[in-house]
Structure 1
Amino acid sequence: MDSAAAVSFDANGTIGAYQIGVLISCVLLGVTTTQAYIYYSRFPQDLAILKALVAFVLVCEVAHAICIVHALYQFTILDFGHPQRVFSRLPISLDTAIFFSTIIEQSVLGFFSFRIYTLSRKLCVPLLIVLVAFVHLLGSMATFIITLRLPSLQSYTAHWGWLSLANWCASVVNDVLTTAVLVVLLYNQRKSAQRKTVALVDKIIVWTIETGMLTSASTVFMIIFLPQYLTMKERDDLARGVCRLRT
């Protein structure tokens, strides 16, 4: 890699940002594991299919964490001293993490769709959520396959950056729609509930808003910063340096 590309490389905005994301993800994996333990210990009488869904999501979460940690190890250890490799072909483990992330999201949305149907006994909204989720699934699977075949990250951002933007927009639509519908349905149930049950319903409404809006907010931030990444000068300078090395 030439000296100009080396100087322009910004580890804070690339490997550093990814490392922070991995650390936060590992913390959240611990939270998820704790929640799964509490669930199995407090609700042993739940349906077997619901227990299996929780176990499946937890296994996928662990697999996702392993993939992103392996990618971080490759970026910081195996590729140490070679920053040009950050923008070459992505590690297969990072591509696989996209696959597991999609499976987790679709499983959770499927559960919420069923919950909405149980509360409303109407199919229109659950079918809409499933439709948007299916579009997101197709987009994520396309991203997974494309990133496996493309020679570099620059090629993906140049030709397929819009696909990531579309996937995240679909994710935001589903999160907001699911949260809003659940809040409305729970609020309607609150009107006919007994006084002792009202407090519990209120807590569920707050939890629904917190969980739904948190994921929506994180995705919105990614949508906001994606165009800045696609036009990031340091990334383009480094990529040009890599191309000069290869030729």
Structure 2
Amino acid sequence: MAQAQGFNIGLILGPIEVGVVVASCLFGCAVVQTYVYYKRFLKDNWKIKALVNHPTALQIPHLLCVVATMWTMSTTHYGEPQTLNYLPDSTVAAVILSAPITFPVHAFFVYRLYRLAEDRILPAICLLMAFVRLAFNLTLGITGIQMRNSIEYEQHWSWMITAVLVTTAACDLTIAGALCYHLGAKRQVGIKR
């Protein structure tokens, strides 16, 4: 029972359960940050407020999908290791939901970088990475609807899964590094705000 047609159950269910706990904690942090934002910045433009609300609102169904995936894999199908070969609907929904959560956040910070940077090439590269991540993420979600066998899915799309993870990390690190650099440079010039 420890193996299910190429799957080690411990290597599948363990990370899912740890991931759900971490995701729940991070969701709690996001809710607190959203609450603090709305309390402190009452006069912000409604567009910025909507942009803050958008990811938080979408993270609720995303977290529910992740919890449903864990429940399905560890409780509903307990003792049926062969079911680990098939992606639950909630997994596919979570993959699809992560695209509209991440893209507006990347786009907002790229816009901030665009406003701070003298050079327009780096913001353009970051925006391109954000678009690539969005397209790949949606592709993975849509193909997950059609291809339900998780072993075949991983074998066929492993390059794109890796590309999504690498592109996301590269985009995040590039934006964060560039913003830190430009904000530090502006402070030295005398702009403190």
TM-score, normalized by the shorter chain, greater than 0.5:
yes
- 2:77, 2:134 → 1: CA distance? 31
- 1:127, 1:187 → 2: CA distance? 21
How far apart are residue 102 of structure 1 and its match? 1.7
- Residue of structure 1 aligned with 2:38, choices 37, 40, 64: 40
Equivalent in the alignment of 1:15: 13
Equivalent in the alignment of 1:79: 77
Listed one character per residue, the Cα deviations across residues 162-182 of structure 1 (whole Å, up to 9, x for unaligned) are 110111121122112111211
Q: What code does the residue aligned with 1:15 have?
A: L
How far apart are residue 22 of structure 1 and its match? 0.4
| 2:44 aligned counterpart, secondary structure | coil
How many residues end up aligned between the 2 structures?
A: 193
Percent of aligned positions that are identical: 27
Equivalent in the alignment of 2:93: 96
Equivalent in the alignment of 2:152: 155
- 1:39, 1:164 → 2: CA distance? 33
- 2:160, 2:36 → 1: CA distance? 38
Higher relative contact order (CA 8 A, sep 6+): 1
| 2:79 aligned counterpart, secondary structure | coil
How far apart are residue 124 of structure 1 and its match? 2.4
- 1:81, 1:129 → 2: CA distance? 45
- 1:123, 1:103 → 2: CA distance? 25
- 1:169, 1:16 → 2: CA distance? 23
- Residue of structure 1 aligned with 2:105, choices 105, 108, 112: 108
The 1:106/1:8 distance shift into structure 2, 3 A limit, reads closer
- Residue of structure 1 aligned with 2:48, choices 37, 47, 50: 50
User: Structure 2: which 5+ residue stretches go unaligned?
Assistant: none
Is residue 138 from structure 1 mapped to residue 138 from structure 2 by the alignment?
no
- 2:30, 2:68 → 1: CA distance? 20
- 1:7, 1:136 → 2: CA distance? 31
The 1:91/1:189 distance shift into structure 2, 3 A limit, reads same
